[in-house]
A and B are shown apart, each in its own frame.
Chain A
Amino acid sequence: MSPITEYLALLVYLAVAVGIAVLAVGVGALLGPKKGGRFKLMPYESGNDPAGEVKRFPVHFYAVAMLFIIFDVEVAFLWPYAVSAGALGVVGFVGLVAFTLLLLVGFLYEWYKGVLKWH
């Protein structure tokens, strides 16, 4: 186990990184001309009012996100196995194969169901 000081160092690192990012944005906001104007502040569409609100988007992205959550949980279960694979021996490996096959069935189901096909 690494000492707790390493994690404190991580917080210092994060603080420095955030500080530099805030500094960059702050400098960018201070310098430069400020001459807004109605047409400049419009969303992109060649000066026309954009057609329609954007509140809905294809459900595919939702499906991809759900699949990612499921298989990321799988990866989270695989990490501890990967570290101690040698110590767990054959029994551990059989457990790994059983677990992977279970998720693989799910993956094959969604694959042949065509969740990842874009129309």
Chain B
Amino acid sequence: MVGLKAFLVIFGLLTAFAYMTLIERRLLARIQIRQGPNRVGPGGLLQPLADAIKSVFKEDLIVSRADKVVFVLAPMISVTFAVMSFGLIPFGPKGAFFGYDPWVINLDVGILYIFAVSELAIYGIFLAGWASNSKYSLLGSLRSSASMISYELALGISLLAPVLLVGSLNLQDIVDWQHQNGWLVLYMLPAFAIFLLTSMAEAARTPFDLPEAEQELVGGYNTEYSSIKWALFQMAEYIHLITASALIPTLFLGGWRMPGFLEQLPLLGPLFALPYLWMFVKIAFFLFFFIWVRGTLFRLRYDQLMVFSWGRLFPLALAWFLLSAWVVALKLPVVWLGWLSLLSLVAFLLYAFQTARPKPVERSYP
């Protein structure tokens, strides 16, 4: 049964990745007031299929200087460890999958496992750049892996904060805790914000997507790849994105559950207690958010990228961890964390409005 569920999850992720590329292209087109791919199939729905057929039938090159074995292994490592962490995420209560559990594996060290797998994914990137034996690939892979490990740190520390409150690393326990006590984002707003930013960097999304910067350093670690191997890297990246947008709601926004008071409503109550549905809604919301960010923001320069993670996110995450550890260790009421979150939101908004105020443009008209 586990094998079948694992197969379903991986196959589902591959389909989701294919349609995610289509949705991203269409949404980016909408943002830029144009149409996006709409020729292949009704509304462009067959575009992912056409792309897949094209990439499978392309010539599969292995560059003459490459380290043959590692060159072939690297994309496989990338995609394997990208799909490995999705199976932990619960989409419903026990037995909600036709009598079986709606997850593939349920580890008590769930968060630690996810952390480990996302670090293993960096191996694929680095090995790809090294095995290509081309200076552009090597530099691209070094930059990607250096930025990913830097954001991994802040990610790890921001993950620690919810564990403090729940007292368990199990994802099911975290979801249940949030059902009883309210969503963790209310208590842990700064940790949520840091997790959101770092998971964008982990999936190499726009403010932090240097590996994709075509105008700098050629193209990054996958410069020398063609055909299905290149597609596997893209796949891994998008699957990281989908996993991130499933993990954010699971950890901070109540997982597959909606708030308890909605389930008490007279007529709509059962609707809000449904498994799967709300999780998919939340995933879709975050995917849309990531695409929106990609359509709107410009990317950071490499030195800014590193300074932002080490100099801002890492100390902030650590400070918030110490603060919430103080509240938990002294057994102060948990509401305090809610007030502290609110305070941090107000402070952030004040800071944002202070710095983002546009300077008056001085123009001299003839």
Contacts and interface: CB of A to CB of B under 8 A. Distances in A.
B36 interface: no
A20 B170 CA distance: 27
Contact of A116 (B310, B318, B329): B310
B138 A57 contact: yes
B75 interface: yes
Nearest to A81: B325
Contacts of B79: 17, 21, 24
Interface stretch (B180-188, B221-229, B356-364): B221-229
Nearest to A60: B146
Contacts of B80: 14, 17-18, 21
A72 B153 contact: yes
Given A7-B107, A42-B63, A68-B149, A16 B134 contact: no
A86 B328 contact: yes
A85 B107 contact: no
Contacts of A60: 146
Nearest to B115: A75
Contacts of B161: 82
Contact of A43 (B2, B105, B134): B134
Given A12-B2, A21-B232, A84-B167, A28 B329 contact: no
A27 B64 CA distance: 21
The B interface is mostly helix, strand or loop, or mixed, namely helix
Contacts of B14: 20
Interface in B273-324: 302-303, 306-307, 310-311, 314-315, 318, 321-322
Nearest to B14: A20
Interface string A24-35: 110111011111
Interface in A1-57: 1-2, 6-7, 9-10, 12-18, 20-22, 24-25, 27-29, 31-36, 38, 40-45, 50, 52, 54, 57
Contacts of A82: 160-161, 163-164, 321, 325
Contacts of B246: none
B42 interface: no
Given A21-B76, A86-B167, A116-B306, A33 B329 contact: no
Contacts of B136: 43-44
Nearest to A103: B318
Nearest to B87: A13
A57 B14 CA distance: 35
Given A29-B60, A33-B59, A68-B153, A13 B228 contact: no
A15 B105 CA distance: 14
Contact of A64 (B112, B163, B306): B306
B106 to A, nearest CB: 6
B199 interface: no
A74 to B, nearest CB: 9
B107 A10 contact: yes
A75 B160 contact: yes
Given A24-B232, A90-B330, A97-B322, A32 B146 contact: no
A88 B329 contact: yes
B70 interface: no
A5 B180 CA distance: 29
B234 interface: no
Contact of A16 (B3, B58, B325): B3
A89 B76 contact: no
Interface of B: 2-3, 6-7, 10-11, 14, 55-65, 72, 75-76, 79-80, 83-84, 87, 104-108, 112, 132-139, 142, 146, 149-150, 152-153, 156-157, 160-161, 163-164, 167-170, 218, 223-224, 227-229, 231-232, 302-303, 306-307, 310-311, 314-315, 318, 321-322, 325-326, 328-331
Instruction: Identify the 6 closest CB pairs spanning chains A and B, nearest first.
Output: A28-B228, A93-B329, A43-B134, A118-B303, A41-B64, A54-B135
26 contacts: A12-B3, A13-B104, A17-B83, A21-B232, A24-B228, A28-B60, A29-B60, A31-B57, A38-B64, A40-B61, A44-B223, A50-B135, A54-B133, A68-B153, A71-B314, A75-B156, A78-B160, A82-B325, A83-B168, A86-B167, A86-B331, A89-B329, A93-B325, A100-B318, A116-B307, A116-B310
